[in-house]
Amino acid sequence: MVTGPPFRTLLDLLAGGGVVVLSGAGLSTESGIPDYRGETGRTRRADPMTYQTFIGSPAARRRYWARSHLGWRHITKAEPNAGHHVVARLQSRGLVTGVITQNVDGLHQAGGARGVIELHGGLDRVACLGCGRRSPRRELERRLREANPTWEASAGEINPDGDVVLTDDQVEDFRVVDCLACGGLLKPDVIFFGENVPPARVRECYDMVERARALLVLGSSLTVMSGYRFVRHAAGRDIPVGIVNRGQTRGDQDALVTLDAPLGATLTALLAGLDRTPAA
């Protein structure tokens, strides 16, 4: 069982309410979706797609959509784990007032969380780079199946952004489809490496952090500034920061308390600790 001074400090932070959660890929690893930099990320090599490569190379788009088409089956089978459910329960109790996630898997919402800000977008949507039309991923998956009726491939390792490892030979004959409205290029409605998060979304996150009594980071190494900036923002305004992650993070020096521990077990223990804490 998780105990000790860091655990008790985290318990106090949650008990006071007004907590904003900032989650990363480490929260979803217990659902079978690996991360890039945590324990599962270190066991394999992942080469994430960049925005420049995607828009500049038809071959790269064909490779991405073939890999993502196969990987989507894995993403849709993933279910929220104990960590996602605890965050939703803390929100329903009024202790968590907002959720910002760097994940694109939709598991927070599937676990019952409301009003989640998806910092990097969501894999369940597709956007046209020509006309801006957004459409459900299920619509694209149907069209890809129709365009590739005889295509078969065996999935390799699943990557955090929902694609799988395939060889060049496996993707060579895969056919990509374009926007139904304008014929433009289709892209998952997620932020690729080298692409900027929309300013309005960033501002919404800053505003949420500024209203918080505390910021709780769950399962993020904070290596990328996209998420780390909100930790710096909180610390610069004397808003206490708590971090639960497997391994060290870039934000450890900014935090009031850090805990290197499994996410699901730790959050479950925190919820149980709150149940044992007498109401003020």
120 is an active site residue? yes
Strand, coil or helix: 39: helix
**102 is annotated as contributing to ligand binding:** yes
Range of the domain at 98: 5-276
CATH number of the domain residue 156 falls in: 3.40.50.1220
For residue 40, the model assigns a pLDDT of 44
- Which residue in 69, 84, 85, 120 is the catalytic one? 120
153 with 63: CB under 8 angstroms?
no
Closest CA to 217 of 18, 23, 28, 7: 23
pLDDT at 165: 79
Residues in CB range of 190: below 8 A, 6 or more apart? 104, 120, 121, 122, 123, 161
103 is an annotated ligand-binding site residue: yes
226 is in an annotated binding site: no
Count of beta carbons in the 10 Å neighbourhood of residue 207: 11
Give the tens place of pLDDT for each residue, 63-97: 999 999 988 988 888 999 999 999 999 999 999 99
How many Å apart are CA 175 and CA 151, to the nearest integer? 9
Is the predicted pLDDT of residue 3 greater than 80, yes or no?
A: no
Domain count along the chain? 1
Annotated ligand binding at 276? The verdict is: no
Is residue 246 annotated as involved in ligand binding? yes
Whole-model pTM above 0.85? yes
Query: Does the annotation list 104 as a binding residue?
Result: yes
The set of residues, in sequence order, having a beta carbon less than 8 Å from that of 51 and lying 6+ positions away, is 192, 193, 194, 195
257-260, strands of its sheet edge to edge: 117-118, 96-101, 19-23, 214-218, 241-245, 257-260
Q: How far is CA 237 from CA 118, 181, 213, 214, 223, in A?
A: 23, 46, 10, 11, 21
Per-residue pLDDT tens digits for 168-181? 888 999 999 999 99
Read off the pLDDT band of 153 (50, 70, 90). Answer: confident
Tokens 């996630």 locate to 101
Q: End-to-end CA distance of the chain: give it in Å, rounded.
A: 25
**Interval 154-169 mean pLDDT:** 73
Residue 21 and residue 208 in contact, taking contact as beta carbons nearer than 8 Å: no
Find all residues with CB under 8 Å of 11, minimum gap 6, and list them: 270, 273, 274, 277
